[in-house]
A = this chain, B = another copy of it.
């Protein structure tokens, strides 16, 4: 790619700080969106009505194209593509349970999760898709513009071309708002990452059947509907540029220490807005946060190695599922899918079905008038880089029936038994319906009163939201549950956050 004549300063791109303010404004623009939320809901309900897919559990013997490869017992597709279910052996893990075996999904290819953004009447809109996934208990949820595995978009299975893919593959005419490889569930996937990409275009965009323009504010407002905005949408939305990359406004940022900014507004939305601007400060400096995180990663000595699924200990395979001996954690099972709405009209596949409903929660607190989030360094055996930032609480409470008492996570009671007026967000959302069957988690944001002094255990830190926003632009920092919660937190910039104090 040639570049313009290098001698002139005109060739240079200057930093812009407009996106953050624009995103925040868009949270209050309901009446300027291209259509109303009511219109969207009618459209979505009509789409669901015409969506005729049927999903059935099947025994493993009815899988077509999939088999348990002997002598290893791995569950693989005959093409060698898609994914496989293998075993994982974990040793020296931190915490109360240092070693175990488990099944795990192995899918080395990187998929694309892309949201196309375009301004209408000055308001940024996201092109979203109503999409059936076999694991969704309600079949259809809102997906990103593009949600495609590499097998999808290189058309290994001979399906139709992926709509709008070209916007994400030939970006030179568009603006990149985010582009980063993000992890998925490290308990269920071995080193799986997807490319999370947000592209803003000024081109005319043809609106295809099954797609809808939602303003950024509308999309966030829909998060409080159970099982509506899917996991792939939530992780990409977490990368939207809500935070200012630099202290905004007339800050003295060179030389003298920054002057104190007046703190305006007392709603949680106002505390959150301050937390998105580095100029208001944070409890811990960037250096201190890096020291804490790098120390955790440097000190990590756990190991996780792929193994044969047939050799995992404490798990049993029956006709229709692979289950833990104690009936906890999750099952590997299989489904048959009949649909008119997808690239191919029918298929079978293995899936993971969690036992019990997960809980993922952020404790938040206004510290010096700036909203802070209590995050944790969490290890999951499938992470590429061992440690990522996790929610304050992330667990499946049912599992503690069989685990040592000390395995129960700190702050679990705090979030499950919070007074109603401290709960800022509380919605059950689905995990990815392409791999996980009827697997849902309750996402909570709970606010601690400002006057409450809470000691930070070693593996926890209070971070300002702009600190999380800066890290989420890079790989291997925020796990997928933390990214969903960051997205839920952004939704509090809208009307939901304005009327709370």
Q: Which residues of A contact B (CB under 8 A)?
A: 1-3, 5-18, 21, 109-110, 112, 171, 175-181, 195, 197, 244-249, 253-255, 257-258, 260, 263, 278-288, 290-291, 294-295, 297-299, 301, 365-370, 384-385, 450-453, 455-456, 458, 462, 473-476
Contacts and interface: CB of A to CB of B under 8 A. Distances in A.
Given A176-B291, A451-B7, A18 B254 contact: yes
A370 B298 contact: no
Given A13-B288, A181-B294, 13 more contacts: A6-B452, A13-B281, A14-B257, A15-B258, A15-B278, A175-B285, A176-B287, A176-B288, A179-B287, A179-B290, A180-B290, A181-B297, A385-B475
Nearest to A258: B14
A48 to B, nearest CB: 32
B12 A370 contact: yes
Contact of A2 (B11, B279, B366, B456): B456
B249 A254 contact: yes
18 contacts: A3-B283, A6-B450, A9-B281, A9-B368, A11-B283, A12-B280, A14-B257, A17-B255, A21-B255, A109-B301, A176-B287, A177-B287, A179-B295, A180-B294, A195-B294, A248-B253, A290-B473, A476-B476
A195 B290 CA distance: 11
**Interface SS majority for chain A:** loop
A178 B455 CA distance: 25
Contact of A257 (B3, B16, B456): B16
Contact of A385 (B282, B384, B452): B384
A191 to B, nearest CB: 10
A17 B368 contact: no
Contacts of A16: 257-258
Given A290-B178, A450-B7, A13 B283 contact: yes
Contact of A9 (B245, B253, B260, B288): B260
A102 to B, nearest CB: 22
A385 B253 CA distance: 35
B11 A368 contact: yes
Nearest to A18: B255
Contacts of A452: 6
Contacts of A21: 254-255
Copies of this chain present: 2
A368 B12 contact: yes
A254 B248 CA distance: 6
Given A13-B282, A385-B385, A298 B195 contact: yes
Nearest to A19: B287
A481 to B, nearest CB: 21
A2 B197 CA distance: 38
A179 B244 CA distance: 23
A89 to B, nearest CB: 16
Given A176-B288, A287-B179, A294-B197, A3 B462 contact: yes
Contacts of A253: 15, 17, 246, 248
Contacts of A7: 368, 450-451
Contacts of A179: 287, 290-291, 294-295
A162 to B, nearest CB: 15
A452 B195 CA distance: 35
A384 B458 CA distance: 26
A248 B280 CA distance: 18
Contacts of A475: 297, 385, 476
A6 B365 contact: yes
A322 to B, nearest CB: 26
Given A255-B21, A368-B8, A455 B2 contact: yes
Nearest to A109: B301
A382 B246 CA distance: 35
A285 B370 CA distance: 30
Contacts of A112: 298
Contacts of A258: 14-16
A179 B296 CA distance: 12
A255 B180 CA distance: 26
A258 B247 CA distance: 14
A3 B283 CA distance: 8
| Closest 6 pairs between A and B when the two form their complex, measured CB to CB | A176-B287, A12-B281, A246-B246, A9-B368, A6-B367, A14-B258
